[in-house]
Amino acid sequence: MKHQTRVFTALATLAGAPAWAGGLTVPVIDQPISIESVSVMAPLDWAGGYVGGNLGYGTAEIEAQDILASQTDALGIGRTLFKPDGLTGGLRGGYDWQRGQFVFGLGGDYSLGDRDSGLEDADTAVTLSDPTATLSEVGRVFGRVGYATGPWLPYALLGYSTAKLEISGPDGGEGDIEGVTAGIGVERRFMGNFSGYGEYSYTDFGDVAGADDQISVDLNEIRMGVNYRF
């Protein structure tokens, strides 16, 4: 009898409970959300000095200008007189500053090795005793800006370059030329203080004053090198 009373009491309690729309809802216990920690790689420290070396390949174009260009046109000769090219080896040094992921630097390099060629027009070369043009001793100073991301540093550079130009033959000569250099590259850190880089640059030496502005010179180069940073 007592057992039945307890059952009736329970039923009466349920009957007096308010009705819920949609029926009874089974409570859901949310599982704790596990948030994996996201590892954000801070940029490496690029600030400081460096020294290193590089290997490269350069190809130049020496073109006729002004009166000389008119003469080559009249003779049916292309205005591109020489295309000196060759392998080079060089030394580089500089210093970088860093602000957040941005890297700013000043540097300089000097390359050894000749870029040379004969006249592009073979018939004219025979007539003029086969002169040659040689571009050598290319040195430059530059500023650069890069954006560090992990071990990588893509960058752009702008600088000032000098070189020695020599043209053989009775009407040739030699002298120093200078011009503006622009380039892009990417550098990567490895083994602690070492970094490797690849770079392309273009130098416009403009009209050569020593040749009465009758020729102009430009130079395209690619370089690959290794630096030691300290």
Question: Where is mean pLDDT largest: 1-10, 11-20, 24-33, 121-130?
Answer: 121-130
Indicate the pairing of strand 152-167 with strand 173-190: antiparallel
Comparing CA positions, the residue from 184, 168, 142 lying closest to residue 84 is 168
Task: Enumerate domains of the chain plus CATH numbers.
Answer: 59-229 (2.40.160.20)
Kindly indicate the confidence band of residue 123, based on its pLDDT and cuts at 50, 70 and 90. confident
In order of 19, 119, 155, 174, 203, the CA distances from 132 in angstroms are 103, 6, 36, 12, 21
Has residue 102 got a pLDDT over 50? yes
Has residue 164 got a pLDDT over 80? yes
Kindly indicate the confidence band of residue 62, based on its pLDDT and cuts at 50, 70 and 90. very high
Comparing CA positions, the residue from 222, 214, 219, 211 lying closest to residue 117 is 219
> Nearest 5°: phi and psi at 121?
-90, 115
Q: Which of 59-68, 90-99, 209-218 has the lowest mean pLDDT?
A: 209-218
> Average pLDDT over the chain, rounded to whole?
86
Has residue 21 got a pLDDT over 50? no
Give the pLDDT score at 212.
87
Give the pLDDT score at 20.
37
Give the pLDDT score at 8.
39
